Structure 1
């Protein structure tokens, strides 16, 4: 046989071998139906299925169809930026937590995490927290993630009559619960925190959850009471230090001023979450104008809170991943100003949520006040802290003492 014949045989053999793919290799597909089938298969594999999808489609993550499929797999909007897998069934999350030895981070929100128009704070989580490099890594490595919708997010559409429309969600709030593998609440992180502050909260709660799980059942309640008592004392100490540093003689209110005989309105509930209030306030003002006295109290409180928030600007700084996501999601040409204003609002949210809301949650744990069941605790949080109880189907947007001059008060 001639040498050229050997060469031809060698080339054919090489080409044949090069066409053989590893057993786990899958050719990327972009057909919606094929992607849907792929997602259904990989979703059952949990976070391993997500990593497999990301590997298969590593060069296609800018494709809108692939991103839509990825969101369905993760059950989170903009998952390409965070790469987090979320359970939507708590029983499945608990099974995963028991198998892995990790605590559960369970988000409660209005709307759904995989939809664009979920409540404002959950949208801010998807931009400021979940894509953050440090937070994303910690959530992937050390928590089982779960979310549950409390109720649909109320939406408002402003029709300008010339083809232009403005869509917004209005009112509502969100909270992250840290649960042990049985679903028992260990701690709760209410509302929006700056990235560094949120990371600290996660680290503290993870340590507490692991220590709790190692204790005999008889010692666990006492451990939680001491943990929350210590955290409450730390908050009070830091509060006094902040006031002293700034020379504030008349501290701002740390509880919402609500008449117990009257249901809270959306206008009262909105300022509890500052970042989302910046988006919702223009619409709420037109729906529920506030009195001059209410405005004076709000302005007085806001001045003191803003001074305190300035001590925590570093805690609210966005990382490059989050800034890139904001840039991708907005058509505004003033990105630096948008980021600066958002960070300032997050710093304000951070201090208010810690000093006003988290301190109350710690107190409930110390008292053992409906804190051993996440569903009961969540009802309490939404009713007494967020001022949007499940008993009010209109979320404070339809007060019974304000006349609208619309048939049936506009209720449909």
Structure 2
């Protein structure tokens, strides 16, 4: 702490202590928690923002206190929900009540203090905004509000998110005051880190709740176990862990193929990248690597881009075969009451909720098997072979480039067709 500032410790209120840092030239005022909760809900923007910033210092306790105070108003008061979103740094936080760090160093400090691993989300856009990339929006519907998962995350992890880059948006103006706005392309990934911020495992893309919880529980134990080791011992332990997890996936893959009567093929034929990166990946091809998000995005991509490229999954199985494989575990995909309530809140009254829910759950089931067999298996291989970078940012760059097909080198994210004449000046 610098010599020109000092900590000011507020009164203990309801089991919470607020610690503020203030200049020695200013008047330090430690606000009590009830006062902060009232001020955060104020219509006075300046007063509200100051209180929100102070409440974030309470972390999970601040989130829970605000939710408990205003829980009866939150379902019908959008302004109060936005206040809670700012305290959490997550859109729709009234359904998840999760506190997120947006600074990794602060998250690492909290992890060391609590002896918890870190769940670090990388996404396009921002988690506290409505129009972040589609998969991160689906995390806020499928995973974070899930009663079992949200409690598990609060109890066992320090949560952090970081934007990889802004998410592309398209707006259709109908000319009569109505505008339809959607996001295009982009994917998201959860990294499981130890308290030092070192990668232990990663869950790429959207998973069904039970599959997400199962994978997260295994990775949590790996993070705790590996953190007890140092140097080469830790390196070798983690390589063995990933080799074992890859073997499990290979066994499951073989079993699923047999159950479906599909001829056997290796899960990972080689360590070479499966996608052709000699040219810029096409946005439609990249989009089809995530089924749930492709449903709203692909029709827009086909209508807004001057491209004749036929999208291909470049997958091992046909779409029909993936659908059959996903159906093997369809019962594991069911969304809980909290997730369904959030879906209902966002849907038009003209929508058929049972049909929307059924379609969404089928897409989630496909994403789960594809993410495990195409992406997670490849990550296990990289980490088992020691070919994945120790630097998290470098690993994330590789994930977005080679798995998600949205490399940072392509400033247009596959949305600009270089080999098609548009009649418009090149950008």
Q: Same fold (TM over 0.5)?
A: yes
The 1:307–1:249 alpha-carbon spacing in structure 2 relative to 1, beyond 3 Å, is same
Residue 278 in structure 1 maps to residue 295 in structure 2: yes
Residue 361 of structure 1: which of 376, 379, 391 is its match?
A: 379
Once the two structures are superposed, what CA deviation does each residue of 1:176-220 show, in whole Å capped at 9, x if it has no partner? 000000100000000000111111111010010011112243310
Once the two structures are superposed, what CA deviation does each residue of 1:107-141 show, in whole Å capped at 9, x if it has no partner? 00000000000000000000010000011001000
Please, what TM-score do these two structures have when normalized by structure 2?
Answer: 0.86
Structure 2 equivalent of residue 31 of structure 1: 42
Paired residues of 2:307 and 2:417 also in contact (CA < 8 A): no
3-state DSSP class of the match of 1:407? Answer: coil
Once the two structures are superposed, what CA deviation does each residue of 1:354-377 show, in whole Å capped at 9, x if it has no partner? 000000000110111234221111
Question: Residues 141-156 of structure 1: matches in 2 within 5 Å?
Answer: 141-156=155-170
Structure 2 equivalent of residue 15 of structure 1: none
Structure 2: distance between partners of 1:291 and 1:244: 34
Which protein has the bigger helix share? 1
Paired residues of 1:252 and 1:304 also in contact (CA < 8 A): no
3-state DSSP class of the match of 2:53? Answer: helix
Structure 2 equivalent of residue 307 of structure 1: 324
Once the two structures are superposed, what CA deviation does each residue of 1:276-333 show, in whole Å capped at 9, x if it has no partner? 00010101112155556x5698897101101101012122210010000000111143
Structure 2 equivalent of residue 100 of structure 1: 114
The 1:362–1:252 alpha-carbon spacing in structure 2 relative to 1, beyond 3 Å, is closer
Residue 227 in structure 1 maps to residue 227 in structure 2: no
Structure 1 equivalent of residue 136 of structure 2: 122
Paired residues of 1:117 and 1:169 also in contact (CA < 8 A): yes
Residue 344 in structure 1 maps to residue 362 in structure 2: yes
3-state DSSP class of the match of 2:295? Answer: helix
State the Cα distance separating 1:165 from its structure 2 match.
1.9
Residue 125 of structure 2: which of 100, 103, 111 is its match?
A: 111
Structure 1: distance between partners of 2:88 and 2:323: 36
Residue 325 of structure 1: which of 335, 342, 366 is its match?
A: 342
* Structure 1 unaligned blocks of 5 or more: 1-20
State the Cα distance separating 1:405 from its structure 2 match.
1.8
Question: Which has more radius of gyration?
Answer: 1
User: Higher relative CO (CA 8 A, sep ≥ 6), structure 1 or 2?
Assistant: 1
Structure 2: distance between partners of 1:190 and 1:52: 33
Question: Residues 191-340 of structure 1: matches in 2 within 5 Å?
Answer: 191-249=205-263, 258-286=275-303, 287=305, 289-290=307-308, 301-331=318-348, 332-340=350-358
Structure 2: distance between partners of 1:160 and 1:136: 39
State the Cα distance separating 1:231 from its structure 2 match.
0.5
